[in-house]
Structure 1
C-alpha cells in the first residue's frame, strides 16, 4: 500500500471517529457541529489522497461521504460540488456510480435555481452514456434535458450543441422524423445569423439523408423547400450528392450509388454517423427496390 493510500485510510478512520463523537450526548453539547465539519474535511482530504494513489472508487466514496454530510447540514453548494468531485472519480472506475452522483448534484442545483450547472451535468451524463456505459436512448434523454435548461438560461449556442446530439442519436435509433425536425429547425435558426448561415447546408444535408431513409418523394419535396429557404444550398456539394443519390435510387443503381458516395468521401471524409446512414439508405435500395 502506497503512502497516499495509507494516509487516505487514516483520514477515513479519523473522520469516522469524529462522527461517532459528535453523535453522542456530550458531543452534541460540546462542539458536535465542529466535529462534523472536521469529518467533512477528513473525507475531502482522503478523497484527494486516494486520487493521488489512483484509487478512483475509494476516492469517489470519500467525496460522497463529504457530500452527504454537507447535504445534512444544508450546505447545498458544497454538497453538489462534492458529488461532482465523486462523479469525476467514479468516471474512471464505475460509470453507473458516476451517473448516480451527477443526478444528486443536478437535483441540488435545480433546487437552487442553478439551471446552467444542471444542464452541464446532464450533458456530462449523456457523454457517459455515449462512451463509458453505451446507451443511446439514455444519452438522448439527457441531451434533451440539457438543451432545455440551456435554452431556458438563454445559452443558445450550448442548447444547439445538445439538441444536435439529440438529432444525431435519434437518426441512429431510426427515429428519423425527430432527427429531421431538429436538423430543419437548427438550419432555419442558423440562416438568421450571418455567422452561422454557412453551417445550414450541413443540417439540410443531414435532414435530406434522414428523409432518404424514409421516403424519396418527401426527400425531393424537402430539398425544394431547402432551396427556397437557402438558395445557395443548390450550389453546395452536399445538395449535388443528394440529387445524384436520388437519381441512382430511382434507377435502382446500387453501384452508381456506391461510386457517388466514394467520390464525395475522397474529398470530404464521412464520419461514422454519415457512413451508418448512407449504408442504411443503400441497403433499403438493395432490399426494397420497389420502394424507390
Structure 2
C-alpha cells in the first residue's frame, strides 16, 4: 500500500469513527437530533470519499451504505440516499459484484419512488451489465444461466424506464441486448421473443429518417431468429411483412441474404445455405451472434438431409 493510500485510509478511519461517535450522542430536541444524523451522514460520506481515493473500495462501499441508511431512514432524504447507494455500487462492482447489485437495486427503487426514472434506468442498465459480465459472481448461488436471465430482466427494466422518459435511443439499445441475450446466451434460448423484439425495433427505425437504414439489420436478425427456431414458415411470413413495410428491403444486401436463407432452408439445401453465408460474409462481416445462429440453422438442414460440414468451416471468422 502506497503512502497516499495509507494516509487516505487513516483519514477515512477518522471520519468513520467521528460519524459513529456523533450517532452515540444524546439529544433531546427534534432539531438537534436531526442535526446529529445530518452530521453523522456527512462524516460517513467523507470517510467513503477518503477510502475511495485510497483504493479501499470495500470500506468506501460500507461507509456510503451507512450514510444511505441515515439519509433514508432518519432524514427521509431519498435523493441523498439514492446517491450514496449509487456511489456504493460504483465502489463495489469490481471487488464485490453481488453487493454492488444490491446497492444499485435499492437505489433504483428509491429513484423510481422519487420519479427520477432516467437515473433509475441507467442504474438498471448497470445492473444488467454486471450480471452479463460477471455471471455467477454477480449473485451468490446463481449459476451462469440464471445470471443471464437476471441480465435480460434488468435490460428489459432499463428499456421500459428509458421509454417512459422518451429516451428512445437508450431504450432501443437495451432492447437489442434483451434480444441478443435471449437468443444467443440464454439456455434454452427464447428465439421467438427475440424475433418479435427485432421486428419492433425495425418498425421503430422506419419512423425516423435518421434511423430507417438500420431497419434492414433488425429485420434480418428477426428472420435469423425464426429460422434458428426451426420455423421457416414464420421466417417466410416475416420476410413478406418486411418487404411490405420497407420497399427497399427486398433489393438490399440484408433482404437478398434473408431470402436466400429462407429458400435454402425450405429447399433443404445446406450447400446453398453455406454459399450464401460465405458470399454475404465477404462484404458484410458476420458477427459471432449471427454466426452462431447460422450454424444452428445449417445443422438443422443437415440433420434433415443427412449432410455434413458446417457454416463455421465455410466462413473465416478470424
* TM-score (normalised: structure 1): 0.90
Decide whether the 8 Å contact of 2:162 with 2:171 is kept in 1.
yes
Question: Is it true that 1:16 corresponds to 2:20 in the alignment?
Answer: yes
Question: Which of 8, 18, 25 in structure 2 is aligned with 1:4?
Answer: 8
1:122-141 equivalences under 5 Å are: 122-133=124-135, 135-141=147-153
Summarize deviations over 1:218-262 as a string: whole Å, max 9, x none: 212221221111121112111222233334434544344334323
Q: Map 1:244-283 to 2 at 5 A.
A: 244-283=260-299
Aligned to 1:196: 211
- Cα deviation code 1:182-210 (max 9, x no counterpart): 11122112112211111110110000101
Partner of 2:158: 146
User: 3-state SS of the aligned residue for 2:250?
Assistant: helix
> Cα distance, 1:289 vs. partner?
4.0
Bigger fraction of residues in helix: 1
After superposing the two structures, state which structure 1 stretch, 225-234 or 200-209, moved more. Answer: 225-234
Aligned residues: 286
Q: Paired residue for 2:255?
A: 239
How many angstroms apart in 2 are the aligned matches of 1:40 and 1:17?
Answer: 12
> What value does the CA root-mean-square deviation take over the aligned residues?
2.0
- Cα distance between partner residues in 1 of 2:261 and 2:163: 36
Rounded to whole Å, the distance in 2 between the matches of 1:270 and 1:46 is: 50
Counterpart position of 2:58? 57
Q: Which moved more, 1:116-125 or 1:248-257?
A: 248-257
Runs (5+) with no aligned partner, structure 1: none
User: Which deviates more from structure 2 when the two are superposed, residues 47-56 or residues 197-206?
Assistant: 47-56
- Separation in 1, partners of 2:51, 2:302: 56
Residues 1:206 and 2:221 are matched in the alignment: yes
1:132 deviates by 2.2
- 1:237 and 1:43 mapped to 2: Cα distance? 59
Q: How does 1:178-189 map to 2 (within 5 A)?
A: 178-189=193-204
Contact 2:191 2:228 in 1 (8 A): yes
1:57 offset after TM fit, Å?
Answer: 1.3
- SS of 1:234's equivalent in the other structure is coil
Q: Which moved more, 1:8-17 or 1:259-268?
A: 259-268
Structure 2 residue aligned with 1:284, among 281, 300, 304? 300
The 3 A distance-change label for structure 1 pair 277 and 15 is same
Deviation of the 1:60 alpha carbon: 0.8
Residue 286 (structure 1) shift: 2.6
Q: Give distance in 2, aligned partners of 1:105 and 1:211.
A: 38
- The structure-2 alpha-carbon separation of the partners of 1:68 and 1:288, relative to structure 1 and needing over 3 Å to count, comes to farther
**Secondary structure in 1 matching 2:223:** helix
Secondary structure, counterpart of 2:52 in structure 1 = helix
Give the stretch that moved more between structures: 28-37 or 140-149.
Answer: 28-37
Contact 2:60 2:88 in 1 (8 A): yes
Give the superposition deviation at 1:5.
1.3
Pick from 81, 84, 105 the counterpart of residue 83 of structure 2: 81
After superposition, what is the alpha-carbon deviation per residue over 1:271-291, rounded to whole angstroms, capped at 9, x for unaligned? Answer: 22212212221222233449x
Q: How does 1:66-105 map to 2 (within 5 A)?
A: 66-72=67-73, 73-105=75-107
Instruction: Name whichever of 250-259 and 11-20 sits farther off.
Output: 250-259
